[in-house]
Chain A
Amino acid sequence: MQRPIRIFLNEMRRNHALYLMTIPGIVFFLLFNYLPMFGIIVVFKDFNYIDGFFRSSWVGFKNFGFFFNSTDAWTVTRNTIVLNSLFIFTSLILQIGFALLLNEISSRWFKQTTQSLMFFPYFISWIIVAVFTYNFFHSDHGALNRILRHFGIAPVSWLARAEYWTWFLTLIYDWKWTGFGVIIYLAALAGINEELYEAAQIDGAGKWTQISRISIPLIIPTAVVLTLLAIGRIMISDFGMIYGIIGDNSMLYRTTNVIDTYVYRALRQLGDIGMSAAAGLYQSVVGLVLVLGSNLLARRFSEEGALF
């Protein structure tokens, strides 16, 4: 029986061209993903420019103190998980839902036009979206309050009412990302063998049965993979979106202040690299634990959908 290393070397010799082609990608990941990992030591140091990475003094876990001792640690962690969970699951439902609907449309023109229009928000910068949002929700001259006044309803100070913004941010996130996700699920649906649908039709299955018994089960692996990847980043929010839209409006922090924005606002004056890196490490470790846990769960329900 051949030793594994020998098997591997034989494999490399047989397909040397393919392995050579992976070298640029491997080098890229080594240089930009693995090599910079040594920078994690900054989290445990009182970093200063004179001593640099290696000679700055060790401070143990002191840099974590700012975040974990603050009165807002629980609030911002909760907001991060709640907002990202809503983003993941609402966009999952909308993306799959719209992909299934578009897949049933026979008119190619209508299908492509709808897809393009849905994809359009993806290209709009969050800064532009922030301007739209501000002008839409403004207390005095915002479009929403003008509509309410027109119908005799008392205007609301939307930009001062934190309780609405969990849902507003979710809606805005879905508006921006649904089009992008629909393309991925449409591609997954396009990969399903047409014979399955024909066989189902012959057996008397209606549209809904075909969707629920063929389309949905066969795109579940794709959905599981994308969801797992999203869960891995659940502790990392879309800073550009949240900070762009909310800015420094502290009236909305109760429901919109996430770890990234909290750390940014607190540390932008100090500019302390160790403390901000500590918050980033906390996000990454929790994200890793979550993705490992989710992957275990996914393997139980759908072996093909699991990442590893």
Chain B
Amino acid sequence: MKRPLKIVSVLLLSLLAMGFISTQAFAGGGSEEQIDTITFWFPGVVPRELDTVLDEVNSRIQADGIAAKVVFNFVPWADYQNKLRAMVAAGETYECHFDGDWGAIPTMAPQGAFLAIEDMLPKYAPHIWETVEKDKWEASKYGGHIIGIPWRWPKSERRSVQIRYDLYKKYGLKNFDTLNGDVFTLDDYEKFLDAMVKNEPAMIPSAVSQELVWISPFAYVGGYGSLNEQWNIVYKLDDPKLKLIDFETTDLYKDLTKRFRRWYLNGYFEKDVLAQQTSYKDLMITGKAASFVHIFDSENEMNMQIKPNHPDWEVKGHLLRVDLQGPLSPPMNNILLFNRNGAHPEKAMRFWEWMHLNQDNYDLVMYGIKGKHWEEGPNRAVVIPAPYTMADSPYYGWHGRWCAFWPELERPTVDDEPGWMEKVLKATYINDKLLPHVGFFPEISDVKNEIAQRSSLRQNVGRAIELGAVDPATAYNDYLAKQKAAGSEKILAELQKQLDSWLASK
């Protein structure tokens, strides 16, 4: 009995083997291209309908010949930079993440975290390669290699004063049309602040919270370009050699600290300005603040948030000193970066190319499924179907999407001010240029101790001076002495050496 059983077993196994071989043969002599997961990381909250939209994205990209499954992961803003560093340090094989030159790029790029993609772009993303302007590709390089795909959105870093315009008109202050060349100065701003102190005592005249970078963004008002706002290092815009200067040593800094001390004493800043943890934007939205100083784009963002609950409120951005050259936002301000350890960077690039090939693909990824998550309104605007609004949409508005912005594809929303995109373009190009140091990322390992101490001193001592909470007449000299003792001159010397070398190579 045992022998027949053996024979039957061998026959069955043979049949199985033949069956396996034949399925492979019917498949065309080899397996289909494997569907690989390609992972993107973004900051912020996961959209509630993300899976629904990505299911549709994946079915369309696979139908269009990209054998990939797209995954979007989100990490809260507070943890985002550290998460990126930890993932790269751990050798994780995700493909791409969103970031900017304000984020982890200055520290991650010198440590070799990013893939050089200039050879891949013409092959896997020819449309993107041809459409993104050449100067933007140049400004997306580190160490001579393109490390990511930048956004193409016009944006200026020039400061604008975002004012509660309904209050501005109520107290009869002079109207300024800064988009058409009217020059609005800090002295003009002070008139508004004074009116708020006198007439709206419950409101914070000028909101500053802990995350708002102060004083260094005003560098252009004195004809300076800011090399790094965190380190407070600048150069004169009319200096072809870009000689680096500690911003604290300039007359502009001294004047500004005196002015902001006056603001503090006059009540233009709240007394506990250094302790304010609520975001300046939230203070404005809730009506606790009458103004803040930030980029021009904040105007539209504020009106979108405020108008649904307070239709009589209005926020208007007054560009500061349009008579002076301001800094354009560098292309790396919002960029999609490629992880050096990424498993399938070519498929990630093909997906990004697919997304930018036509309006339908772009709409799907950026706004969701048409008819379900959004509708098209007048002037191509995005309308969120009831019962949702822009503020609580189950998909629209995910953070990090800005790195994908192309002006031809990006849609306004129905909540945007009419003609908002035209306004932004006008504000951006009114008198702004890319700073001459854009594309320069210094290698700081030889001065990292000194830079850490400089940042620490700025945080511990400088910020109180810059916001007027301490009298610069008594604190300024001591602050300068501490910065010098902490090695500020060594930092300048090292960075100047590298900057000179970079300029020479251009």
Binding site for B on A (CB under 8 A): 46-50, 52, 62, 65-66, 69-72, 130, 134, 138-140, 157, 159-160, 247-253, 257, 262, 265-273, 275
Contact = CB atoms under 8 A, between A and B. Distances in A.
9 contacts: A48-B112, A69-B453, A134-B277, A160-B274, A251-B274, A251-B275, A266-B455, A266-B459, A271-B82
B210 interface: yes
What are the 7 closest A-B residue pairs judged by CB atoms, nearest first?
A266-B456, A50-B112, A48-B111, A249-B275, A66-B449, A159-B275, A139-B271
B271 A267 contact: no
Interface of B: 81-82, 85, 88-89, 91, 104, 107-108, 110-113, 210, 230, 270-272, 274-275, 277, 340, 444-445, 448-449, 451-453, 455-457, 459-461, 463-464, 469, 482, 485-486
Given A66-B448, A266-B452, A270-B451, A130 B91 contact: no
A160 B271 contact: yes
Contact of A250 (B88, B91, B108, B274): B274
Contacts of A65: 449
B274 A265 contact: no
Contacts, number: 116
A252 to B, nearest CB: 8
Contacts of B272: 138-140, 157, 159-160, 249
Given A66-B452, A271-B85, A250 B271 contact: no
A70 B113 CA distance: 29
A69 B449 contact: yes
A267 B272 CA distance: 25
A247 B275 contact: yes
Contacts of A252: 275
B464 A250 contact: yes
Contacts of A257: 460
Contacts of A130: 277
B482 A71 contact: yes
Interface residues of B: mostly helix, strand, loop or mixed? helix
Given A70-B486, A157-B271, A266 B453 contact: yes
Given A251-B464, A267-B452, A271-B107, 15 more contacts: A46-B445, A47-B89, A66-B448, A71-B453, A138-B275, A140-B270, A160-B271, A160-B272, A160-B275, A247-B277, A248-B463, A253-B460, A265-B456, A266-B455, A271-B82
Nearest to A63: B449
Nearest to A65: B449
A19 to B, nearest CB: 35
A272 B448 contact: yes
Most chain A C-beta atoms within 10 Å of own C-beta, residue among B340, B445, B463, B486: B445
A269 B449 CA distance: 13
B459 A275 contact: no
Contacts of B448: 66, 270, 272, 275
B370 to A, nearest CB: 39
A246 to B, nearest CB: 8
Given A66-B449, A71-B482, A251-B464, A269 B271 contact: no
A303 B444 CA distance: 53
Contact of B108 (A49, A139, A251, A253): A49
Contacts of A253: 460
A50 B91 CA distance: 9
Contact of A269 (B108, B230, B275): B230
B469 A160 contact: yes
A270 B455 contact: yes
